[in-house]
Amino acid sequence: MKRITLPNAGVVLLIGPSGSGKTTLLQKWVNSGQIKESEVLSSDKYRKIVADEEYTSVENKNSEKAQILFEQYQRISKEAFELLELTIQARCRLNKCSFIDATNINSDDRKKLISLAHRHHLPVSAIVLDVDLDTLLVRDNERAMPRGSKRIKQQMKRFQYDKRYLKTEGYHQLHIIKELNHSLEIERMDEVPSIDVGAGIDIIGDIHGCFTELLQLLEKLGYEENEQGLYTHPLGRKFLSLGDIMSRGPRSLETLLFFKNHVNHNLAYMIDSNHGWKIYRWLKGNQVTLRHGDELTAKEINQWLATYSKEEQKRLKDEFIQFLGNAPAHYIIEDDGVPMLVCTHAGIKDEYIGKSSQQISDYCRYGESSSSTEDGRPIRDEWYHHHSGHMTIVWGHDPRPYPTNINATINIDQGVVFGGKLTAYRYPEKSFISVDALKNYNGVEHNPIIEWKNKRLQPPNIQALIEGYRVQIEGFDDVSVKSKYIKPVIGSLSTSDTHFNQLVYLPPTMSPVPIPSQLPDYLEHPLEAFQYYRDHGVNQLIVEKKHMGSRGILLIFKNEEEAFNYTGISNLGAIYSRSGKRFFKKDIEEQILTGIQSSLKRTDYFDKYETDFVLLDCEIMPWNLKAQDLINKQYNLVAESAILDRMILDKELNEALVENHWLKENQEKLERAESFQKVYEKYCWEVSDIDRIVIAPFHILAHSGRVYHEQSHIWHMDHVEELSEICSIFRRTDYLLIEGESNWERVIGWWQEMTEEGHEGMVVKPNQFTIWDKGKLLQPALKVRGRKYLQIIYGMDYLEEKNLERLKKRNTNRKQKLALQEFSLGIEALNRFVKQEELGRIHECIVAILALEGDEVDPRL
């Protein structure tokens, strides 16, 4: 039995004249399950697709008729091969294998297909069926539609001529078959290896010869050294290096030997990289310039080899060459047969995944750079912004102070050799484990970790966001943002007078109760909110009075120096609205911030909480501070017009002595109009100075190094109480704690009393900031607005039976989804801010929240 190896992805050309057995061979492989029927692309079948016939015979036709038929056949073949080529291109893009069942004896046709495959970074193989002419003629006579001896002889002549040059055409594999009588089997193989996640995999960033830190990390990950000196995990986990295991650090040779040994024992994997490739070529004797630590690795290897005989030196060097040469450009990690992760050294384009070529290998080793510094160092391009797939790409090469999730890519090179950390990404846990470097081993002038921290405050790359992107959020689902919503946001922010650098958080929208009230005279009622959380297993709730003001974020720094350290701006902070715009005029903002900061410093608040700043989520009153335009142009006008019209009608009805029910109905409408006016006036008052401004915080979002989303809402309310005692501008928020259904009636009574007085309503929250049920995040808060307040949202007559019936059919699903997405984006922004990540990473979340607000959702919800 003869066995040949063919790739699972690529183009396989069957080459031979008509009758050489191409179709028969492929059908045998299909029947035996060695290839799929869909992988076979037959020129005869494509002729039939475009023209309903596989072949046009000219046998027994005079020359004139034969010429016309041949011209028809040529036109059919042209259309058929154009469609065939489009199919091959599509299959190449999808990383599939295509067996081309055609004669393929024309070198120009072959070159076109070879070029097509190479453009898609796929291998081209050729199976040449070299059958003698006599056999071809006998087989042709036995066909239902013979090609004719003249055609067969012409093909054979062309085939014999081109056969001599096949080896020069650049095939990945070339198989010449002279006899098909014996069994011919094929073996399929992937160009890019995939790894089943199995018991779990630990992906390790750039090691650079920091062997001690590698062992510390493996031990921290739970690996144990056995009697053979191999590190194994009790659960059967394996570890994978993203490359650059050597050079720059102190123990490159030991690290190289360690990985060679573990890979050979099927305990670990290693990816090709720029330093590994350089040492590979040096070992092979190529002319290479050794620098950036490679010269130290070469010195270690030479000194070690010198302790062995000449024969042993050659054997050991060959083992290194084989080990480094076999390292793939990338691995694909599969979970239950589904590709979940792509692991590579410096980066990869989406269209390269699962494929192999010299161009792809170079890209994976070095990444992408279009410019360089004055001293020749490459300035790396942000390739990851173009990633659009859902597979997560894990990479290294570009040292950063912390693991970085960008657009479903994760960088885990934390610059251990430069005094940073050595990081592992654990899958399927999706968690990070790291160890600190023992020292900075690389005394270079340009330390990338320090340089990265220094460029943290550079303006973000807006262009990278403008076409849409995906935010990867730790602990939550990813959020994708569409280009059509981003462009208006960028335009708005570019004209806003808020310091973009100090937009570090935006609050989420809040959904009303998912289902309307079942009571006849209510659209919203607390009972449905309580039942929503109870049905998801949450019994301890907190209800907070909802102030009718405008949502605002306060960022207050200890001093201007700390403000500059965090945001690159020397001031005391910022106060901005949900839309990211400055809440007050600059002079008013400065007065408020100065007053708050002075009060906090006077009471040693910053020292007590060991923080450089405090970030607050608040309601700012009166409402007319931000809504005066809306009040003047809409609410005042509507209220005054309705009251006037209904008073006139009331007078005319009285004078006309009409039936009582008409009078009663109009009087009810008049009362609703007057009630409508009183509701919004309750939260409006003249502001002659800042002493008339009220700020009601309800979330202490963050201090230095700490985000408080894991603290209970009772903790937040207690902290707000402290702030209200420190500074007079702060007002505490009334709230009640619900421990179970026995408290519901009391809280509903409180809500009814409050809303009948004209207050907006209340917010119902689980006491814990984030709550999950069966793997799904619950609404962090639900607003329950009072009947009177809802007049200014839905109109003063919304409680009329026909109106209320229609409103109870409202759909809140999209609003709920937005609330969850914006909530998770806000927490991610906070985490990035307190870790002092670069501003671009924070603004990735901010722009996403603002973009989501551009989605078409009923603004009354």
Q: Summarize the confidence of residues 659-664 as an average pLDDT.
A: 62
Q: Summarize the confidence of residues 249-267 as an average pLDDT.
A: 95
Q: What pLDDT score does 495 carry? A: 65
Q: How confident is the model at residue 489 (pLDDT cuts 50, 70, 90)?
A: confident
E strand or H helix at 567, and its extent? helix 560-567
Q: What pLDDT score does 242 carry? A: 97
Question: Residue 185: beta bridge partners?
Answer: 3
Q: Summarize the confidence of residues 836-848 as an average pLDDT.
A: 88
Q: What pLDDT score does 544 carry? A: 94
Q: Summarize the confidence of residues 495-517 as an average pLDDT.
A: 85
Min mean pLDDT across 115-119, 356-360, 647-651 is at 647-651
Q: What pLDDT score does 550 carry? A: 84
Distance of CA 281 to the CA centre of its chain: 36
> Could you read off the pLDDT of 58-112 as tens digits, one per residue?
566 666 766 776 677 778 888 888 898 999 999 999 989 999 998 898 888 899 9
Q: Summarize the confidence of residues 503-528 as an average pLDDT.
A: 91
Min mean pLDDT across 57-66, 269-278, 347-356, 580-589 is at 57-66
Q: Summarize the confidence of residues 802-811 as an average pLDDT.
A: 88
Q: How confident is the model at residue 613 (pLDDT cuts 50, 70, 90)?
A: very high
Higher pLDDT, residue 636 or 206? 206
Q: Summarize the confidence of residues 660-676 as an average pLDDT.
A: 64
Tell me which long-range contacts 43-46 makes (C-beta under 8 A, separation of at least 24).
43/77, 43/80, 43/81, 43/84, 43/100, 43/101, 43/102, 43/103, 44/101, 46/80, 46/81, 46/83, 46/84, 46/87
Q: How confident is the model at residue 486 (pLDDT cuts 50, 70, 90)?
A: confident
Confirm if 766 and 778 have CB atoms less than 8 A apart: yes
Phi first, then psi: give them for residue 218, nearest 5 degrees: -60, -40
Confirm if 618 and 552 have CB atoms less than 8 A apart: yes
Question: Residue 418: beta bridge partners?
Answer: 440
> Could you read off the pLDDT of 124-182 as tens digits, one per residue?
999 999 888 888 888 878 777 777 788 888 888 888 888 888 888 888 888 888 876 55
**How many Å apart are CA 653 and CA 848, to the nearest integer?**
55
> Could you read off the pLDDT of 676-688 as tens digits, one per residue?
666 656 666 566 6
Q: What pLDDT score does 557 carry? A: 96
Q: What pLDDT score does 216 carry? A: 97
Between vectors from CA 679 to CA 676 and to CA 683, what angle results, nearest 5°?
145
Q: What pLDDT score does 622 carry? A: 76
Task: Kindly tell me if the per-residue pLDDT of 530 is higher than 60.
Answer: yes
Residues 6+ apart with CB under 8 A from 780: 508, 765, 766, 769, 770, 771, 819, 820, 823
Q: Summarize the confidence of residues 631-658 as an average pLDDT.
A: 61
Closest by CA position to 300, among listed 258, 259, 256, 253? 253
Q: What pLDDT score does 625 carry? A: 59
Token pair recorded at residue 169? 């055409």
pLDDT cut 70: percent of the chain above it: 88
Q: What pLDDT score does 48 carry? A: 86
Q: How confident is the model at residue 465 (pLDDT cuts 50, 70, 90)?
A: confident
Q: What are the distances in angstroms from CA 47 to CA 67, 77, 611?
A: 19, 6, 76
Q: What pLDDT score does 825 carry? A: 94
Mean pLDDT of the chain: 86
Between vectors from CA 416 to CA 413 and to CA 421, what angle results, nearest 5°?
80
Q: What pLDDT score does 386 carry? A: 83
Q: What pLDDT score does 450 carry? A: 81
Task: Kindly tell me if the per-residue pLDDT of 251 is higher than 90.
Answer: yes
Q: Summarize the confidence of residues 815-825 as an average pLDDT.
A: 92
Q: How confident is the model at residue 469 (pLDDT cuts 50, 70, 90)?
A: confident
Q: Summarize the confidence of residues 460-465 as an average pLDDT.
A: 73
What pTM did the predictor assign? 0.76
Q: What pLDDT score does 387 carry? A: 85
Q: How confident is the model at residue 374 (pLDDT cuts 50, 70, 90)?
A: low
**How many Å apart are CA 122 and CA 172, to the nearest integer?**
9
Token pair recorded at residue 138? 């006998």
Q: What are the distances in angstroms from CA 96 to CA 182, 354, 386, 801?
A: 29, 10, 23, 62
Task: Kindly tell me if the per-residue pLDDT of 233 is higher than 60.
Answer: yes
Closest by CA position to 832, among listed 567, 554, 498, 597? 567
Phi first, then psi: give them for residue 641, nearest 5 degrees: -65, -45
Q: Summarize the confidence of residues 283-310 as an average pLDDT.
A: 89
Q: What pLDDT score does 441 carry? A: 86
Q: Summarize the confidence of residues 400-409 as an average pLDDT.
A: 87
Q: What pLDDT score does 483 carry? A: 82
Q: Which residue has the tokens 């009329």?
A: 800
SS3 of the chain: helix, strand, coil, percent, to 5: 45, 20, 35
